[in-house]
Amino acid sequence: MKGTRLGFGLLLCMAVTVGFRGAPVWAAAEKPNILLIMVDNLGYGELGVYGGGALRGAPTPHIDHLAAEGMRLTNFNVEPQCTPSRSALMTGRHPIRSGTTKVVWGMLYGLTQWEKTLAELLSEQGYATGMFGKWHLGDTVGRFPTDQGFDEWYGIANTTDEAQYSTQFQYDAEVGLKPFIQQARRGEVPENVMPYNLSVRREIDTELTRRAIDFMQRKRTSEQPFFAFVPLTQVHLPTLPHPDFAGVTGYGDFADSVVEMDHHVGDLLDTVEKLGIRDNTIVIFASDNGPEEVPAYHGTSGYWRGHYFTALEGSLRAPFIIRWPARVPVGKVSNDIVHITDLLPTFARAAGYSVPDDRLIDGVDQSELFFTPEGRSVREGFPVYNGDELYAYKWRDWKVHFVELNSMFGAPQKLNIPHIYNVIRDPKEDFNIAPDATWVLPVVMSQVIDFQQTLAKEPPIMLGTPDPYRPARDPG
């Protein structure tokens, strides 16, 4: 276990003043480094600060300490699947706009080159951009991370369960997919480093962490601001720990893997300390989805119900922690609604980029919430698409389901009359109170219609759309 981390230092390079409605304004030009750690399918109930930790047989002291030093969200919302969440993060747009709501084997998928990613925006402001981990936003030339704004990348293009392929029943190497760990620099065609199999799956996060640390060290030496995106592969199935962590908890592979994940986060945080860049580095820890439902690798959504691939709170609510000394209030906890699309516009002023104005952006600037003690979210709700179909709409403390799916292995039920849940009174979404809350329907439906009208104004990119793509615009 690591020792106690250093206390907050004074931030000398940038001054904060308070602007309109208490939103922060940064007076100096120095750009903060950004370390964004995104883990895979970590449920709401796994971490100590979210009610798990030792109760799950897996203490998470490093992540818990990060939360104590910064801000923790209890109503941070993602998309129901991996690719949509990562698309929303990178573009600030709902995936239904980008053609990234799902992956269909055999079809071209991922972000078109027309999309403007967070990495591209930061690169244009002089940031060094490195990615170390899982992409899942395209596996063809033109759609790899180094085609979409990253200077360098090491990791996997798709999903971790591909590591199982070569050991599955009657796997045929002649026709079956052969997943690889890959690496590339900007503009290069990625090279295959090694096959991605079960033994390598156990070791990949250690290597991702090592390379991310090396990247931060190199950029510290060059005094260039950096964006280090570290999408670790744990705890996605197969949830298998590194050999050094196998058996450390006594509670099996899943708990061992959570402890391993926490250890890697600690190594990244220690590097920020040792490089002397703590005060001018934004550190974010988040999960891209709710927990797995597959036996032996299943996680927990804690207080909520559901797993990813559903529109239940357990699918949508994920851990989110942010630290930026002298900027983010220490120890603040907020249950205001934040969506993953909000990150791109929220950090625009801090990093110096402008949010694209030639396309519809769904994210909203949450600077007031993140950077002022009493700040509140400026978001009240959002649509929930699973694939290309609207499953639900979340608004304030209400959830209206149009399609109900209680298990990723179940059959979706299209509802003749929407179900209405109040997630404060009924966090498990067990009791449909539509007859007693009919007033909610016209309010929510007006927002659904408003959103659907934006899809008519800027028609969505369809899955399988090749590059180059040019948007069809509403002549009005």
Of 346, 404, 449, 292, which is closest to residue 73 (Cα–Cα)? 346
Report pLDDT for 17: 36
* Average pLDDT of span 425-439: 97
- Torsions phi, psi of 341, nearest 5? -65, -20
pTM to 2 decimal places: 0.94
Residue 83 — very low, low, confident or very high, per pLDDT cuts 50/70/90? very high
Residue 228 — very low, low, confident or very high, per pLDDT cuts 50/70/90? very high
Lowest average pLDDT, out of 42-46, 103-107, 207-211, 336-340, goes to: 103-107
Domain boundaries, the chain: 33-380, 382-457
Average pLDDT, the chain: 93
Residue 421 — very low, low, confident or very high, per pLDDT cuts 50/70/90? very high
% of the chain at pLDDT higher than 70: 93
pLDDT at 260 over 80: yes
pLDDT in tens, 114-158: 999 999 999 999 999 999 999 999 999 999 999 999 999 999 999
Look at the chain and count its residues: 476
Report pLDDT for 472: 79
- In this structure, which topology does domain 33-380 adopt according to CATH? Alkaline Phosphatase, subunit A (3.40.720)
* Average pLDDT of span 313-331: 98
Please report, for residues 227, 286, 404, the alpha-carbon distance to residue 329 in angstroms, rounded to integers and kept in the order given: 22, 18, 38
pLDDT at 31 over 80: yes
99: its two tokens: 């053609």
Report pLDDT for 26: 52
pLDDT at 4 over 50: no
Report pLDDT for 25: 52
Lowest average pLDDT, out of 21-30, 32-41, 260-269, 445-454, goes to: 21-30
- CATH classification code of 382-457: 3.30.1120.10
Q: 222-231: string of b/e by CB count within 10 Å (b at 16+)?
A: eeebbbbbbb
